[in-house]
Amino acid sequence: MTADLQKGGMGLRTCLLGLLALIVASKGSYSPEPDQRRTLPPGWVSLGPVDPEEELSLTFALRQQNLERLSELVQAVSDPGSPRYGKYLTIEDVAELVRPSPLTLHTVKKWLLAAGARNCNSVTTQDFLTCWLSVRQAELLLPGAEFHRYVGGPAKIHVVRSLRPYRLPQALASHVDFVGGLHRFPPTSSLRQRPKPQVAGSVGLHFGVTPSVIRERYNLTAQDVGSGTTNNSQACAQFLEQYFHDSDLAEFMHLFGGNFAHQTSVARVVGKQGRGRAGIEASLDVQYLMSAGANISTWVYSSPGRHEAQEPFLQWLLLLSNESSLPHVHTVSYGDDEDSLSSAYIQRVNTELMKAASRGLTLLFASGDSGAGCWSVSGRHQFRPSFPASSPYVTTVGGTSFQNPFRVTNEIVDYISGGGFSNVFPRPSYQEEAVVQFLNSSPHLPPSSYFNGSGRAYPDVAALSDGYWVVSNSVPIPWVSGTSASTPVFGGLISLINEHRILSGHPPLGFLNPRLYQQHGAGLFDVTHGCHESCLNEEVEGQGFCSGPGWDPVTGWGTPNFPALLKTLLNP
């Protein structure tokens, strides 16, 4: 790709003439992301403009082809009733389908070359280009953009962003979806450490969620671990400039992994592991994915976007589009408010998740830790859905608590469990029956003005999210809570089921939702008590949706009963 851009290098005069000709021919310009939020997130401050000669890395999302056909194939390979079930596409198949047209590739390369872009790299599917430019060149290339350096977040990380809208030549309107590396700021973790509940007496009690508590509640035996004889693998991804430490993982397994076979080190780290302090979120993800999906090879995607101008989540999506062999299960504790993202960005990311589903990857996303959420639109309160939790191509994991916080009992709703209805994506056909049943039967529905009842509803499933023990920086930390905990737990159990399927000669499960909804939550404990939080106003008084029999937008179909779930998902 780099060679293509540099082949037959143009002189400065020719470059400028070519760029001028393209802009003149374009008869104006357009804004690819007019609806992108451009306010500075809380906790971030500007350090001022960036040196015009400083280098930036920008990612150009090129217009793809045949997306309707890709959607049909995802449905076919994910539907147990289809003759194509489990016959996943290779990355080469996906590339053949979605690769941008020759005209798109030629037009965008010519435009970037004229602007002085260098060290451009593509991906296997050819639908992303990442190039280096100086700030001066980038601001000329993208009129309206003004790059500043910002600092913020708990780790006080630095990013280079433009809060102003950028424009592209009209001639590129049918060729470029958006440019990454301008607007979106890294999200902050919503993981929290709750106060220890008060209890009298200690007979038969546990003092926080550990791997043995999870294995007891979800009915795993000591034999429910990976065999170590397959190419089965799983992964978690982090985008918060957080790192795990191998020594913390080893200490965690020493303290809590004594009654089941397990691995004490990560098989592969993709991206750069920082040398700083371990983050609780990163530690939690690794420790509970590897203790739930015990003895299974585990990868960690560690903040792959390390340059200040890169968007780490976008860099992870690029990695998925550039690797032919990937872990079967990916758990991700990342989310943004739907309304904070541009339509162009959110639709394109959804397409990337659809590409992953076509390849048989199981993507599990945390549902968020703000209940139904809340924001004000034209002076009226509404619930606030989260993305990618609201994508129809991922399996979204909500959260639960024990009814008695010190006993392994039935589960109830964890009030922070994210859930609701997308304002962007319509309800997919696979969940039509379940969602209509909920809307027609729930006795505690909020006013209809608060949510889009026809949107993609989430979560799909749940697991314990309250009161975890984590080892971070050599210190055992209790009462850590959030759907960042439930997601790797559910992912690890899916990895164990994949292990059985692979040993039986079946393909891995891939995109779970069509099968989960067809089977009406078989193999899951139905969570029927509790509501999650929402707007603190007189109309709803802080209450969002409530759980009930069957599927609901708080805990989905429920939490795993491993032997029953294995039986349900093992065949074909």
Quick: pLDDT tens for 33-81: 988 877 888 889 999 999 999 999 999 999 999 999 999 999 999 999 9
The answer to whether residues 119 and 2 touch, using CB atoms and an 8 Å cutoff, is yes
**How far is it, in rounded angstroms, from Cα 139 to Cα 121?**
20
**How far is it, in rounded angstroms, from Cα 105 to Cα 95?**
14
Cα dihedral 42, 304, 335, 333 sign: negative
Residue 531's CB is within 10 A of a number of other CB atoms, namely: 21
Task: For residue 57, list its beta bridge partners.
Answer: 132
The answer to whether residues 392 and 478 touch, using CB atoms and an 8 Å cutoff, is no
**How far is it, in rounded angstroms, from Cα 349 to Cα 352?**
5
- Report whether the peptide linkage leading into residue 572 is cis, meaning its omega lies within 30 degrees of zero: yes
The pLDDT score that the predictor gives to residue 186 is 79
Query: Tokens in use for 418?
Result: 């994210």
- Ligand-binding annotation for 35, yes or no, is no
- Ligand-binding annotation for 28, yes or no, is no
- Ligand-binding annotation for 270, yes or no, is no
The pLDDT score that the predictor gives to residue 5 is 45
Q: How many CA atoms lie within 13 A of 451 on its CB side?
A: 28
Nearest residue to 555 via CA among 519, 522, 529, 520: 529
Angle, CA 81 vertex, CA 438 and CA 565 arms, to 5°: 60
The answer to whether residues 295 and 228 touch, using CB atoms and an 8 Å cutoff, is yes
Residue 205's CB is within 10 A of a number of other CB atoms, namely: 12
483: burial class by Cβ within 10 Å (0-12, 13-18, 19+)? buried
- Ligand-binding annotation for 460, yes or no, is no
| DSSP element (H, E) containing 302 | strand 297-302
Q: What are phi and psi of 95, to 5 degrees?
A: -60, -45
**How far is it, in rounded angstroms, from Cα 245 to Cα 192?**
20
Query: Tokens in use for 197?
Result: 């509940």
In sequence order, the 6+-apart residues with CB closer than 8 A to the CB of 206 are 213, 406, 407, 408
Coil, helix or strand for 268?
strand
Q: Which residues of the chain have pLDDT under 50?
A: 1-26, 199-204, 304
Query: Tokens in use for 309?
Result: 């101008």
Q: Which residue has the tokens 């006795």?
A: 443
The answer to whether residues 567 and 523 touch, using CB atoms and an 8 Å cutoff, is yes
The pLDDT score that the predictor gives to residue 21 is 44
| DSSP element (H, E) containing 297 | strand 297-302
| DSSP element (H, E) containing 255 | helix 246-256
**How far is it, in rounded angstroms, from Cα 462 to Cα 474?**
29
Q: Which residue has the tokens 């430019």?
A: 133
Nearest residue to 239 via CA among 328, 157, 311, 341: 311
| DSSP element (H, E) containing 20 | helix 12-26
**How far is it, in rounded angstroms, from Cα 274 to Cα 300?**
13
Q: Where would I find the H helices in 380-509?
A: 432-441, 483-503
Which residues belong to the active site? Answer: 281, 285, 484
| DSSP element (H, E) containing 68 | helix 67-78
Which value, in Å, is the radius of gyration of the alpha carbons in the chain? Answer: 24
Q: What is the DSSP string of 543-561?
A: EEEE--SS-BTTTBT-EE-
